[in-house]
Structure 1
Amino acid sequence: MPKRGGRLRNWKPNEHFEHDDRSHSNNTRRVSFKPGTNHRKNKFRSWNDASQILLEGDIDMGASGGQGPNKRGFRSRGGRLGSPAPRPAARKKFIPGVLPWYQIVIPYGAKHEKDVILRALLSFLSPDVFIPHYYKINGNAAVFFVDDVKIAEKLFYADRKIVMTDGFKLVVIVRNSVPNVTIDADMKQKMKLAMAKRYNATTKALDLTKFHADPDLSDIFCALFRPVIMLAAIDIIAENIPDLEALNLNDNKLHGIEHLKILCTKLKNLKILYLGDNKIMFLGSLDPLKLLPLVELYLKGNPLVKRFNDHDIYVSDVRKKFPKLVRLDGVDLPPAIGFDVSDEVTLPSNRQWFLVDQAGQNLVRDFVTQYFAIYDSDSRQPLLEAYEETAMFSMAATYPTGDMRNAPENKLNAYISKSRNIMRITERESRRRYLKIGKLQVVSFLSDLPKTKHDLLGFAVDLPVFTPGMIVLTMNGVFKETNVSGNPTRSFHRTFVIIPNSNGGFSITNDMMFVTNTTREQEAKAFSAGTEQPAAPVVQAPAVAPQPALQPLYDDNQRMMLNMLGQQTGMNEHWSVNCLQETGWDYQRALFIFNQLQSEGKIPPEAFVK
């Protein structure tokens, strides 16, 4: 039996409350002298009650700063001299719970009609209003749930402040709890009927906004923030409307949505998703939904939105997760910058060589053969003739990401110490020091690098620029260090910028090299394409620079005119030479004659065969 005038510390289902707390109390004190009665035991009853609350899964919303049960109280009569004066009990404070639902218990509420109790509570909370969910009588108590923490707090402080018409104070107990639910066939049928009236077949859209408050579900707990209920709802949707394109989950108190990844497999046509006014804390929580082809997303009203001080960054980060998004939070987004490529596109087959102009094929072949024949020889000094007087060279080196091979032969010490990696070397003077300027510095630097043997047949070569005034040549491949223990293989990338020189040949004006360790795949394929053909004999110094296939029978001006005429007319070299020679190397006259003969159909087809 609860102590008169005191608040009930715990309530159990089907427990009857025998006493009321009246505003007019009787001052007559009753004293019992029953043998064996220890009145101090009542102080410890709250500990057992609290344990029972935790076992039942409820959370007591009150917190007090008063004395605990082990503190001795003040004795007003016969007390020890100097005993401390009693402290007034601190007022209990409402502490929000971790669950978005709160159970409201009104002891002795069965003595009043439902409307009477709710009117009294609404009158006290005015102008605030609330919806009591799942109102029922349990024993002598009235029980219902609310889904608003602010309403729960105000009801908490309404305890014993509402006097009913019969003079009794209304006791209000607030717990952070959710109703028990068992998902059975009957519940699924009710959910299905509630969804049916919320579905728009024309737009293939389903509106489940605040689904738990649907009038057709007033007698069951159907809150979608509970994963088991959400998964049941998704199963119903997938079974009945698998082609759903729009789903509104606004205001359902969703927080953890990891289980929603099942949408990616069960509702593959879902393009519009509303998740507004929920409890989603972080943008990363949306990662399970990244596979959905969403074009519209609504997140407004979630805490994650307030984490962004810059709206543009918010939009950018959301778009990174959903690249096809065109509408966010009800606002149309500007077109994304990128390549509009369909998902079904097939890439062309890879090619080992790319030549922007087939006329440069012989030049590329001769350059690669002659240059690396000298580079792989015992002396690299003949390369002096290959570089322009003011040529520049730089080298960068690093280890592959995740490379865990720590053997001594995998160390890149010979390259790292001389690396000009401008992502790491930011000081201007250091950058200048690692840049080699002038062919003497370039060849001297190359001569100090380890001796090598390149896998010429494994080269991947590109010729992106081929003009009379400049050639750009890039290549990837592997080489083997021949003077290092274990003969380790390295991967490299070279970029050469080549220009005509005064001798009628070509010279390297810029050379960039990158070196790293080979991958295991590269290492397995290195030097496996067959025996390399012997390189062209190395010309002893003074060596000549690598020459193109078209040896300079003409001066620089004639060579330029020959290349330009070939590019503009499409004729091969033989016919271009004849045309220019017959006009005395007058380029404009040669082009005029070509156009005249071409219009008359007098140029044979073999003139265009290259």
Structure 2
Amino acid sequence: MPKRGGGPRHRNWKGDNDHFDHDDRVQSNSTRRVSFKPTSKGKNKIRTWNDPKLLLDDDIDMGATSGQGQYRKSAFRGRGGRMNSPAPRAHHGVVKKKFIAGILPWYQIIIPYGAKHEKEVVLRSLLSFISPEIFIPHYYKTNGNAAVFYVDDVKIAERLYHADRKITMSDGFKLVVIVRNAVPNITIDADMKEKMKLTMAKRYNAATKALDLTKFHADPDLTDIFCALFRPMIMLAAIDIIAENIPDLEALNLNDNKLHGLEHLKILSSKFKNLKILYMGDNRIPFLGSLDPLKSLPLVELYLKGNPLVNRFHDHEIYISDVRKKFPKLMKLDGADLPPAIGFDVSEDLSLPPRQQSFLVDPAGQDLVREFLTQYFAIFDSESRQALLEAYHENASLSMASNYLSNDSRNSPNNRLTSYISNSRNIMRVTDREQRRRYLRTGRLQVVSFLSDLPKTTHDLMGFAVDLIVFTPAMIVLTMNGIYKETNTAGNPTRSFHRTFVIVPNTSGGFCVINDMLYVTNTTKEQEEKAFASGSVEPTPAAPAPGPAPGAVPGVAPGVAAGAAPDDAHKMQLLAMLSQQTGMNEHWSVNCLQETCWDLQRAVFIFNQLQSEGKIPPEAFVK
């Protein structure tokens, strides 16, 4: 008679709804029928039934590679044996199976024939084996002859995995333990929502408007249903329940819920406008970027300790800084108070002051700057720039730099900056000291000679942005940027420029430029659309005009002595220039010049100001 329990145990387990139809561990009086195939020598006997140990081993699959946990099928030669003999029953030649953690934090524990024993007996045997570790058996139930429950800890799952067939029960049989990476099936219905609601009610503190959902799935009132908040559908159902019953929630504790993906939590900002305290410690949040769906929450306190994202930072100060970038109002992180954030103490709804096209450090310099620019660019845009000799200091210096925009098309002829690149003193590229010296123009003759060789231009005076940053009796510093067109180049390409003038008094009582820095590049599409918006499309060179006389104060109209009234010819010239730059008809242009005593730049300034305020009627532009 076979030894009790020594016969093969065929396992028929496939899933949660299957069970073992037959328990053959009970003695049977029937005679086992065994047949042997005769061999040529009559010595070897071959079993025809399956090895029960192999059947049980093959049923566990934790994601290992194919063939792991089985006897090797390769040739084996034992002592006195031969090739292709069956593997020995000892541990030699057996690949030891390893526990491999799954991607989900939940594990299904299956105890075949576990229903033959009381629940307490099975659990006590398992707890005794893995002691001092303890576990909570979630959703324990019997399925046919098997007992099934779940654990939510990978370490516990591994210990139970290694308990397979190592626990001897009172009836002498070894307990079989099967571990699978699986999550209980869920169906969110009205009954489940009601249980969640009652559980949340006892966890809510009305005095502080705080809801504690720490390890929510392990709550004693939820032992019969799977209610893990790391499942998005369960979390969203919980959020709906909270929003319906606690719309003014201020603090929420989601610690130890195995949260990893947070994309669905973007809804928190729209559901809870007053949520300022959020605890998410001891979860599985992998990266700081995973918190992006929560950035719109006005959090003042956040708890993240115990998440993998914290361990990615080797510098705690950088960790605090990066978290604060996402939550600027944060005052407490991981239980520690943060130093006050550096910022401006202003109300949230305070708007910034309106943008100014120009800035004047001293309003008293407005007239002088306006008159200087009018006079300078009238000469610069004329046929001859030689008159600029009187505008520069005897020891003046000028440097020019130029480069292309990063997104322009250099192959377009109109975009090529050949005239400027060849003389560019870009110190990031020109590293040789001698070349840097050669590209720096020194003395008024070199400066004006260099400017005269540049392409002829027409500047958009109304598009200038001027900043007067230094205004003292000893020095004036102004920076400006704007747009101009090249008048003697095919296609009349537009260029963007930035210029810095350093102006000092001269010996004759006037002013002159001692340092001039020019930067030229291509225009953007937006700049091209706005350039010369109020003037004529085709630029025309300005009429020749002499430069300021030695000792004269810049600002006086070209060719006109200080305090003298312009003659009729010069009035016609000013009238044509104003009409071209503003687009106004002759009648309105004359009125504008008369109101400003025939000061062209002042007239343009006033026009620009009135037009921005919408005070110039449409008939002013009817010609």
Category of TM-score, reference length = shorter chain: 0.7 to 0.9
Q: Please report how far the alpha carbon of residue 478 of structure 1 lies from its aligned counterpart in structure 2 after TM superposition.
A: 0.9
- Residues 529-544 of structure 1: pairs in structure 2 closer than 5 A: 529-530=534-535, 538-539=545-546
Corresponding residue for 1:155? 160
Which secondary structure does the structure 2 equivalent of 1:491 belong to? strand
Paired residues of 2:215 and 2:254 also in contact (CA < 8 A): yes
Counterpart amino acid of 2:507? Answer: S
2:34 to 31, 34, 40: 31
Offset of residue 181 of structure 1: 0.4
Q: Look up the match of 1:120.
A: 125
Say if 2:554 is the partner of 1:547: yes
Alignment equivalent of 1:210, drawn from 210, 215, 223: 215
Aligned to 1:60: 62
> Which residue of the partner structure matches residue 466 of structure 2?
461
- Counterpart position of 2:286: 281
Instruction: Deviation per CA, 1:17-57: give whole Å up to 9, x if none.
Output: 634779x9x9x9862479xxx9879699999x98xx9xxxx
Distance 1:278 1:81, change over 3 A: closer
How far did residue 184 of structure 1 move?
1.3
Give the match for residue 18 of structure 1. Answer: 22
Query: Which residue in 2 is equivalent to 1:109?
Result: 114
1:256 to 249, 252, 261: 261
Aligned to 2:374, which of 354, 365, 369? 369
Q: What TM-score, normalized by structure 2, do the two folds share? A: 0.76
Q: 1:428: how far off? A: 7.2
Deviation by residue 1:164-221 (Cα, 9 ceiling, x = unmatched) = 1221111111111100001111111111121122222222222111111111211111
Assess if the C-alpha contact under 8 Å between 1:498 and 1:507 holds in 2.
yes
Quote the Cα distance in structure 2 between the aligned partners of 1:204 and 1:15: 48
Shift of 1:462: 2.2
Residue matched to 1:267: 272
Match of residue 319 from structure 1: 324
Distance 2:188 2:445 in 1: 83
Structure 1 regions of 5+ residues with no counterpart?
Answer: 554-610
- The answer to which of 502-511 and 213-222 deviates more is 502-511
| Residue 504 (structure 1) shift | 1.3
Residues 78/124 of structure 1: CA separation in 2 closer, same or farther (3 Å cut): closer
Aligned to 2:241: 236
SS at match of 2:109: strand
1:338 pairs with one of 314, 334, 343: 343
User: What is the CA–CA distance in structure 2 between the aligned matches of 1:479 and 1:353, rounded to whole Å?
Assistant: 18
| Alpha-carbon distance in structure 1 between the residues aligned to 2:11 and 2:432 | 74
Give the structure-1-normalised TM-score.
Answer: 0.78
Instruction: Rate the CA distance shift 1:520–1:546 in 2: closer, same or farther, 3 A.
Output: farther
Aligned counterparts of 2:50 and 2:318: Cα–Cα separation in 1? 60
Asked if structure 1 preserves the Cα contact closer than 8 Å seen for 2:395 and 2:443, the reply is yes
Residues 1:219 and 2:221 are matched in the alignment: no
Whole-Å Cα distance in 2 between the matches of residues 538 and 323 of structure 1? 58
Give distance in 2, aligned partners of 1:294 and 1:229.
24
Aligned residues between the structures: 539
Is 2:139–2:225's contact at 8 Å kept on the other side of the alignment?
Answer: yes
Deviation of 1:361 (Å): 1.9
SS at 2:166's partner residue? Answer: coil
What letter is aligned with 2:22?
E
1:573 corresponds to? none
Secondary structure of 1:284 counterpart: helix
- Alpha-carbon offset, residue 123 of structure 1: 0.9
TM-aligned CA distance change 1:113 to 1:446, over 3 Å: farther
Q: Is the 8 A contact 1:43 1:69 kept in 2?
A: no
Distance 2:410 2:195 in 1: 62
Deviates more, 1:75-84 or 1:480-489: 75-84
Q: Could you tell me how far 1:508 is from its partner in structure 2?
A: 2.2
Deviation at 1:250, TM superposition (A): 1.2
Q: CA 1:62–1:123 in structure 2 vs 1: closer, same or farther (change >3 Å)?
A: farther
Change (3 A) 1:422 1:405: closer
How far the C-alpha of 1:378 sits from its partner, in A, is 3.2
One-letter amino acid of the counterpart of residue 356, structure 2: R
State the match for 2:587 in structure 1: none
Equivalent residue number for residue 182 of structure 1 = 187
**Partner in structure 2 of residue 196 of structure 1:** 201
Q: 1:81-127 CA deviation, whole Å, 9 max, x = no partner?
A: 68697652111100010001111111111111111111111111111
Contact 2:68-2:97 at 8 Å conserved across structures: no
**Residues 411/289 of structure 1: CA separation in 2 closer, same or farther (3 Å cut):** farther
- Whether the 8 Å CA contact 1:366–1:546 is kept in 2: the answer is no
Distance 2:425 2:276 in 1: 49
SS in 2 for 1:91: coil
Q: Deviations over 1:373-430 (max 9, x none)?
A: 2222334343343233444444444444544686331233444455455667778777
The Cα shift of 1:475 comes to 1.8
Which whole-Å deviations, capped at 9, do the CAs of 1:57-88 have from their partners, x for residues lacking one? x9635668658699467699998668697652
Per the TM alignment, residue 519 of structure 1 is displaced from its structure 2 partner at its CA by 2.6
User: In structure 2, what is the Cα distance between the partners aligned to 1:241 and 1:164?
Assistant: 51
Asked if 1:521 is matched to 2:517, the reply is no
Aligned-partner Cα distance in 1 for 2:124–2:533: 89
* Residues 457 and 541, structure 2, Cα contact 8 Å, conserved in 1: no
- Structure 2 counterpart of 1:257, which letter? L
Q: Secondary structure at the match of 2:352?
A: coil
Q: Is the 8 A contact 1:65 1:90 kept in 2?
A: no
CA distance 1:411–1:305, shift in 2 (3 Å): farther
- Larger mean CA deviation between 210-219 and 335-344 belongs to 335-344
CA contact (8 A) 1:369 1:536 kept: no
**1:383 aligned residue:** 388
Rounded to whole Å, the distance in 1 between the matches of 2:440 and 2:7 is 92
Counterpart code for 2:62: D
Shift of 1:522: 1.9
1:177 and 1:495 mapped to 2: Cα distance?
A: 71
SS of aligned partner of 1:134: strand
**Which has the larger displacement, 521-530 or 5-14?**
5-14
The answer to whether the 8 Å contact 1:64/1:91 transfers is no
Residue 15 of structure 1 deviates from its aligned partner by 1.1
Q: Structure 1 residues 459 and 327 mapped into 2: Cα distance closer, same or farther (>3 Å)?
A: same
Deviates more, 1:115-124 or 1:383-392: 383-392
Q: Secondary structure at the match of 1:60?
A: coil
**Do the aligned partners of 2:383 and 2:542 also contact (CA within 8 Å) in 1?**
no
Distance 1:431 1:19 in 2: 96
Match status 1:497 vs 2:497: no
Separation in structure 2 between the aligned mates of residue 319 and residue 255 of structure 1, nearest angstrom? 21
Change in 2 beyond 3 A, CA 1:443/1:160: farther
Q: Distance in 2 between matches of 1:196 and 1:232?
A: 15
Give CA deviations for 1:309-330 in whole Å, capped at 9, x if unaligned: 1111111111112222222111
Equivalent in the alignment of 1:485: 490
* RMSD of aligned residue pairs (Cα, Å): 4.0
* Contact persistence 1:64–1:92 (CA under 8 A): no
2 CA distance for matches of 1:95 and 1:431?
A: 67
Identity of aligned residues (%): 69
Q: Distance in 2 between matches of 1:85 and 1:135?
A: 39
- Match of 2:487, as an amino acid? T
> What is the correspondence of 1:299-318 to structure 2 with a 5 Å cutoff?
299-318=304-323
Cα drift, residue 293 of structure 1: 1.6
